[in-house]
Chains A and B, each alone.
Chain A
Amino acid sequence: MTKRGPLPGTLDLLILKAVSLGPQHGYGVLLRVEQITGQALDIEQGALYPALYRLEHEGAIESEWGTSDNNRKAKFYRLTALGRRRLKQETAGWESYTAAMAAALRVRPEEV
Chain B
Amino acid sequence: MARWRSFFRGLLERGQVEREMSQEMEFHLQARAEDLIRRGMTLPEALRQARIEFGGVERYKEEGRESRGLRLVDEVRADLRYAWRQLAKAPSFTLLAVAILAIGIGANTAVFSTVNAVMLAVLPVHDPGRLRHLEWSAKKDDFRKSYNGGGWVNSAGEHIRWSVSYPVFQYLRTHTTVFSELSTFGNSSQMNVTIQGHAELRQGLMVSGDFFRMLGTAAYRGRILSVEDAQPGVSPVAVLSYGFWEHRLGAGAEALGQTILVNGAPASIVGVLPKGWCGIDPGACPDLFLPLANMDAMRNPESWYYEVMGRLKPGVAEERARAETEALIDRAIATYRAAGSYEAPRIGLEPAAKGLNGLRSQLTDPLTVMSWAVGAILLIACANIAGLLGARSAARQREIGTRLALGAGRGRLIRQLLVESLLLAALGTLAGIALAYATGDSIVRLFLGDRTLGISVAMNLRVLGVSAGLCFMTAILFGLLPALQATRLDTAAAMKGSGPAAERSRLVTAKGFIALQVAITLMLVLGSAVFLRTLINLYAEPLGFRPENLLTFQLNPTLNGYKDQRLLNFHEDVVRRLGAIPGVRSASMSRWGILSGSATRDSVNLPGQKPVPVMTHYVAPRFFETVGFSLLAGRDVEWSDREKSEPVLVINQALAQQLFGSESPLGRVVEVGGKCTIVGVAANTKFDSLRRAAPPTVYVPFRQEREHSMTYVLRSAMEPKALVPAVRRVVESVDPNVPPYEVRTQTERIGEDVRKDRVFALLFTAFGSMALILASLGIYGTLAYQVARRTPEIGVRVALGASRGAVAAMMMREEAAPVAVGLLVGIGGALEAGKFVESMMFGLKPTDPVTVVGAAGALLLSAVAAGWLPARRAASITPMQALRYD
Contacts and interface: CB of A to CB of B under 8 A. Distances in A.
10 contacts: A46-B60, A49-B64, A50-B64, A51-B67, A53-B64, A53-B68, A54-B67, A65-B20, A68-B31, A70-B34
Given A57-B3, A57-B6, A46 B30 contact: no
A26 B27 contact: yes
Q: Tell which of B30, B56, B64 has the most Cβ of chain A within 10 Å.
A: B64
Given A58-B3, A70-B34, A46 B27 contact: no
A88 interface: no
B55 interface: yes
A45 B54 contact: yes
Given A45-B55, A50-B66, A70-B34, A59 B3 contact: yes
Shortest 7 CB-CB distances between A and B: which pairs? A59-B2, A50-B63, A54-B67, A46-B60, A46-B55, A44-B55, A53-B67
Interface in A4-28: 25-27
Contacts of A100: none
A65 B7 CA distance: 20
Contacts of A72: 27, 30-31
Contacts of B24: 25-26, 49, 74-75
B53 interface: yes
B691 interface: no
A73 B23 contact: yes
Contact of B27 (A47, A56, A58, A74): A74
Contacts of B56: 46
A46 B2 contact: no
A26 B64 CA distance: 13
Contact of A27 (B2, B3, B21, B31): B31
B21 to A, nearest CB: 8
Given A57-B7, A75-B23, 10 more contacts: A25-B24, A44-B54, A45-B28, A45-B53, A46-B25, A46-B57, A50-B63, A51-B67, A53-B67, A57-B68
A101 to B, nearest CB: 29
Contacts of B6: 56-57, 59
B32 interface: yes
Contacts of B60: 46-47, 49-50
Contact of B54 (A46, A51, A73, A82): A46
Contacts of B1: 59
Interface string A34-77: 00000000001111011101101111000001001010111100
B71 to A, nearest CB: 11
Interface string B53-94: 111110111011011110000000000000000000000000
Contacts of A44: 53-55
Interface in A70-109: 70, 72-75, 82
Contacts of A74: 24, 27, 31
A27 B28 contact: yes
Q: Tell which of B24, B27, B54, B66 has the most Cβ of chain A within 10 Å.
A: B24
Given A44-B54, A46-B56, A50-B60, A57 B27 contact: no
Interface in B1-45: 1-3, 6-7, 20-21, 23-25, 27-28, 30-32, 34
Contacts of A82: 2
Q: Tell which of A26, A49, A53, A75 has the most Cβ of chain B within 10 Å.
A: A53
B68 to A, nearest CB: 5
B67 A27 contact: no
A53 to B, nearest CB: 4
A82 B56 CA distance: 31
Contacts of B7: 57
Contacts of B34: 70
A23 to B, nearest CB: 14
B488 to A, nearest CB: 36
A49 B65 CA distance: 10
A59 B6 CA distance: 8
Interface residues of A, number: 25
A51 B55 CA distance: 15
Contacts of A46: 25, 54-57, 59-60
Contacts of A75: 20, 23-24, 27
A86 to B, nearest CB: 12
B23 A50 contact: no
A27 B27 contact: yes
Contacts of B32: 27, 45
Contacts of A58: 2-3
Nearest to A55: B67
A82 B54 CA distance: 29
A26 B55 CA distance: 15
A68 B34 CA distance: 13
Contacts of A56: 6
A70 B59 CA distance: 28
Contacts of A51: 67
B46 to A, nearest CB: 14
Contact of B28 (A26, A65, A73): A26
A36 to B, nearest CB: 18
A53 B68 CA distance: 6
Contacts of B63: 47, 49-50
Contacts of B20: 65, 75
A44 B21 CA distance: 17
A68 B24 CA distance: 12
Contacts of A53: 21, 64, 67-68
A72 B30 CA distance: 10
Nearest to B25: A49
A62 B99 CA distance: 50
A47 B66 CA distance: 13
B55 A47 contact: yes
A84 to B, nearest CB: 14
Nearest to A72: B27
A51 B31 CA distance: 20
A30 B66 CA distance: 21
A15 to B, nearest CB: 12
A59 to B, nearest CB: 3
Nearest to B30: A72
Q: Tell which of A26, A27, A44, A70 has the most Cβ of chain B within 10 Å.
A: A27
Contacts of B23: 73, 75
A44 B23 CA distance: 19
Contacts of B68: 53-54, 57
A25 B27 CA distance: 9
Nearest to A28: B31
B50 to A, nearest CB: 8
A54 B59 CA distance: 15
Nearest to A80: B2
A29 B66 CA distance: 21
A44 B2 CA distance: 28
Contact of A73 (B27, B55, B59, B61): B27
Contacts of B30: 72
Contacts of B69: 57
B8 to A, nearest CB: 11
Contacts of A65: 20
A97 to B, nearest CB: 25
Contacts of A30: 28
A50 B69 CA distance: 11
Nearest to B50: A45
Contacts of B27: 25-27, 68, 72-75
B135 to A, nearest CB: 57
Contacts of B31: 27, 68, 70, 72, 74
A53 B10 CA distance: 11
Q: Tell which of B7, B28, B30 has the most Cβ of chain A within 10 Å.
A: B28
Contacts of B54: 44-46
B390 to A, nearest CB: 42
A73 B30 CA distance: 12
A30 B32 CA distance: 10
A55 B446 CA distance: 61
A50 B67 contact: yes
Interface in B309-350: none
Interface in B202-226: none
Interface string B441-477: 0000000000000000000000000000000000000
